[in-house]
Amino acid sequence: MSAAYLPADYQRRAVDVLEQLHDGIERKIAHTKIMADETTDASERQTCRAMAAAYRSMIDDIAVFIQREQGQ
């Protein structure tokens, strides 16, 4: 017999997944910044910094989704 989830259970699971995505993207930002610092190629450095900025935008969006989900 399977147990039914309550709406709060679904909400907690959704928030857990969003938080894991957030943390994973934070690690990608840190790695991309290391790559930018270690390269001697100016074009590659600029690309890495642009990627870090795109990742930052993604985690900002995820933070909004987390807040929205927790507010329900």
Q: Give residue-wise pLDDT tens across range 47-66.
A: 999 999 999 999 999 999 98
How many helices (H) does the chain have, and how many strands (E)?
2, 0
Q: How far apart are CA 40 and CA 68, in angstroms?
A: 42
- Residues near 1 by Cβ (< 8 Å), separated by ≥ 6? none
pTM of the full structure: 0.77
In the prediction, which pLDDT does 71 show? Answer: 82
Q: Give residue-wise pLDDT tens across range 3-31.
A: 666 777 888 888 999 999 999 999 999 99
